[in-house]
Every structure is written in structure tokens, then in C-alpha cells.
Structure 1
Amino acid sequence: MYYVNREQLELRLQCIPSIAQVMREIQASWDHKMVQGLAQERALHLAIETVTDVGSYLIDGFIMRDASSYEDIIEINAQEQVFPKELTPVLLDLVRLRRPLVQEYFQWTSRELHPMLAILPDVLEQFDVSVRQYLVQELGA
């Protein structure tokens, strides 16, 4: 029997629609100003943390192999078919942004629109749907 913390998963999954919406709004009204640059950084950071938190909860709950890195979290969930394989490269690219955003933030170019903003909203929404389907498939309603 698995113990999957569905409450914590749900709290994190509920963030995805807002993150996706903000990403779309930033992209639609991009003006190269610092405020939007910082909003973009925060949206990307929240997307990374949400995806990796969800992935970690699934790894722990379903007793998958231990992850050694953020990329490993994505790869393990991909191997377990939590989400469609075509999401894997995009999610890997997303988590690779964590270090530049969190540790090397002083080098981040805030006044440029990051190219991932164009595809991430749809990817995050697909991730959300896929995780929910995976939970139903593995645990039932």
C-alpha cells in the first residue's frame, strides 16, 4: 500500500493555473521593464518548485527510486510515465533554470523575455492533467 500525500499534491497542483496565467500575461504585455522581469523570474521559479515538489511527493508516495537532483526528479517521473514523454525535455530545461534563477540571479538578464515563457503555460497545464490522471490510475478516485 502506498501513502501518497494527496493533500500536499493538490495544494501544489492548484498553483499551476495561476502560474500559467501569469506567464501568458507577462508574454502578452512584455515591456522590457524591471518589474516584468522580476515577475517573470518569480513565475519561472514557482513553476520549477511546483513541478519538482509534485515530482518529489510522487517519488516518495509511490516508493520510486531516490532522486539525486532536480533533473533526476523529472527523469524518474518520466520513467514511471507520470506525464507524456514529450514533456520530459521541456521539464528538464525548466528545472535546469533553477540554478541561474536562485544561485546566479545576479547574472540573469531580467529585461529579456525568456523563450520558455511561450511554451511553459501549456506544458504546465498538461503536467497538471497528467499527474491527476496518474493518481486516479494508480490510486483510484
Structure 2
Amino acid sequence: MYYVNQEQISVRLAVIPSLAESIRQLQQQWSGTAIEQLAQERALHIAIEIATDVGSYLIDGFLMRDASSYEDIVEITAGEGVYPEGMQEVLLELVRLRRPLVQEYYEWKSEELHPLMIQLPQLLEQFKDAVEQYVAKELI
């Protein structure tokens, strides 16, 4: 029997609708102001943390092989069929932004809207649905 921390997964997935809407608003009004730049960085960072936190809970709960990196979390959960195959590449691109955002922030090109910001709202919503379906299916 698995112990999947559904509460912690749900808490993190519950952030996605407001995050996706905030990203959409940011896209529409983007002019590159300092506030918008910081908002973009924070939105990307939260999206990364959601994907990796949820992935870690799934890996731990369903006794998948241990992950050694953020990219590994995405690859393991993709390999277990948590979400559609096409989502893996975009999630990998997303989690690869963690180091530049968190550790090399002084080099981040914040004046420009990052290309992932266009895909992110829909990707996050699909990620949420896929994870919820996977957990429901696996815990039957």
C-alpha cells in the first residue's frame, strides 16, 4: 500500500489557477517594468517549485526510483506516466531555469518576457489535471 501525501500535493496544485491567471495578465500588459520583471521571475520560480515539489511527493509516495536532480524528478514522473509525453520537454526547460533564477539572478535577462511565459498557463493547468488523474487512478 502506498502512502501518498495527497494533502501536500493538493495544496501545491491549488496554487496553479491563480498563478496561471497572473501569468496571463502579465503577458497581456508586459512592458518590461521593474515590477513586471520581478513578477515574471517569481511566477517562473513558483511554477518550478510546484512541478518539483509535486514530483517529489509522487516519487516518495509511489516508491519510484530516487531523483538526483530537478531534471531527474521530471524524467522519473514522465517515465511513470504521470503526464503526457509532450509535457516532459517543456517541464525540463522550466526546471532548468531554477539555477539561473535563484543562483545566477544577476545575469537573468529580465527586461524580456521569457518565451516559457506564453506556454506556462496552459502547461500548468494540464499538469494539475494530469497529476490529479494519475493519483486518482493509482490509488483505486
| TM-score range for the pair, normalised by the shorter chain length | over 0.9
- Give, in angstroms, the shift of residue 111 of structure 1: 1.3
TM-score (norm 2): 0.99
For the aligned residues, what is the CA RMSD? Answer: 0.5
The separation in 1 between residues aligned to 2:65 and 2:136, in whole angstroms, is 21
CA distance in 2, matches of 1:99, 1:20: 22
Counterpart of 1:79 in structure 2: which amino acid? G
Displacement of 1:27? 0.4
Please give the alpha-carbon distance, in whole angstroms, between the structure 1 residues aligned to 2:63 and 2:69: 16
Which deviates further from its counterpart, 14-23 or 66-75?
14-23
TM-superposed deviation, 1:105: 0.3
Unpaired runs of 5+ residues, structure 2, are none
Offset at residue 48 of structure 1 (A): 0.0
Cα distance, 1:134 vs structure 2: 0.2
Q: Which one is further off, 89-98 or 12-21?
A: 12-21
Question: Helix, strand or coil: the match of 2:66?
Answer: coil
Paired residues in the alignment total 140
Overall identity of the aligned pairs, in %: 61
What SS is found at the alignment partner of 2:81?
Answer: coil
TM-score normalised by length of structure 1: 0.98
Q: How does 1:107-126 map to 2 (within 5 A)?
A: 107-126=107-126
Q: Determine the C-alpha separation between the residues in 1 that align with 2:52 and 2:19.
A: 15
Deviation string 1:67-107 (CA, Å, 9 cap, x unpaired) is 00000000000000000000000000000000000000011
